[in-house]
Amino acid sequence: MRPQTAKAVREWRTSCAAEITTMVLGGAWKPSILHALAEHDVLRFGELSRQLSDLTDRVLTRQLRELEADGLVRRVVYPQVPPKVEYSLTELGENAQEVLNAMAAWGRSYAAEHDPDR
């Protein structure tokens, strides 16, 4: 049986490493989140939420937790009131930018072929 989560894939003898990438980066909003973090270096939760105004806090939280679990995002909690949590890219997350750019480039050429009026 084929594993479903990125974590499970790590323990699965896979012959296709590209599938690992789609599992880690394939979340609906993960490219956008990683892109925002790459531009601003460090963002608080509220700042991220404002930048990505199309997704609810609930969804943003989950995507961030997954990215953190996969080692792409660093989460720093300051124990104070009101709470303050800062998110930034790890080295692995920064390395992912290269792939994301390659994927974005192909996605654009694909869209141009299928949707020339954009």
Q: Which residues make up the interface to its own copies (CB under 8 A)?
A: 1-2, 10-11, 13-22, 24-26, 28, 31-32, 35, 39, 53-54, 70-71, 92, 95-96, 98-111, 113-115
- Pick 42 or 111: Cβ nearer its own copies: 111
- Does position 14 bind DNA by CB under 7 A? no
97 binds, among its own copies, DNA, none (CB under 5 to 8 A by kind): none
Structure tokens at 44: 């608080």
Per-residue tokens: 81: 């009131």
Cα–Cα distance list, 48 to 17, 38, 41, 61, 79 (Å) = 30, 12, 11, 10, 20
Helix/strand/coil for 57: helix
Sole binder of DNA in the list 12, 42, 69, 84 (CB under 7 A): 84
